[in-house]
Structure 1
Amino acid sequence: MLAAVNPCGFALLPAYLSLLVLGDDTPSRTVAVGRALIATAAMTAGFAALFGVFGLAVQPVAGQVQEHLPWFTIAFGLLMAVAGAWLLTGRQLPACGTSGRRQVRGAGRRRARRRPQSWQPWRTSFRT
């Protein structure tokens, strides 16, 4: 149910809930409203439990991090500006997880294959 808050999942939420509420059968209005209320209560309880537990787990660390947060945001902003300038010069950022081997010059290039001169796609017939 947590996927419902991301942009893609939020757009699909009405369809998911209508499928959940209506089910395979066509219930009466009172049954559909009852299912909708149960789904709403379950979703609310799930979000409250998830974010409550996360808040309780993060709260002890949050106070210590909060006093250093302004300096972190400045350093992170400068790092992003340097990375952007680096990319604007036409260079690439180093990738994590590379094996450390140097790439052989020209090994990554693909050579275009020449088609035979007799091949003419506009004259190809797909009739059987």
Structure 2
Amino acid sequence: MEFVNKLVDTVKRASNNNTVINVCLVASFATLGLRSMNQQNLIEALEAEKESLAKSNKAIRKTIWDWKQQLYAEASTDSAVVPLARLKAIYGEAPPPQNSQLGDTVRKDAKSSSSTKIMA
């Protein structure tokens, strides 16, 4: 019991001592400063990564655009495996052909699969 009384008395004296309070405040400030510095470094690293990813995305978009234009150029020739109209329909740049066998097959499959019911 005597130990607890000494401990409480020491804590009371320390709480009234400005030096102890100042040391605690400086330690808190230093801790917050370090945390802030670490967060700032992390933010800067993430911003650099964001810029790098944006450049990479632009390069990829340009490459895809170039490939698509090359594909369209090849499809516009007479010896094309896939006609240009079909490619544009695939990429959503033109309405799909109405008399397409593939489209009819897909519609028939969709109708037949919607009419079948699975019982568990």
Q: TM-score, normalised by structure 2?
A: 0.30
Higher-Rg member (1/2): 2
* TM-score between both structures, scaled by the size of structure 1: 0.28
Q: Compare relative contact order (CA 8 Å, sep 6+) and give the higher one, 1 or 2.
A: 1
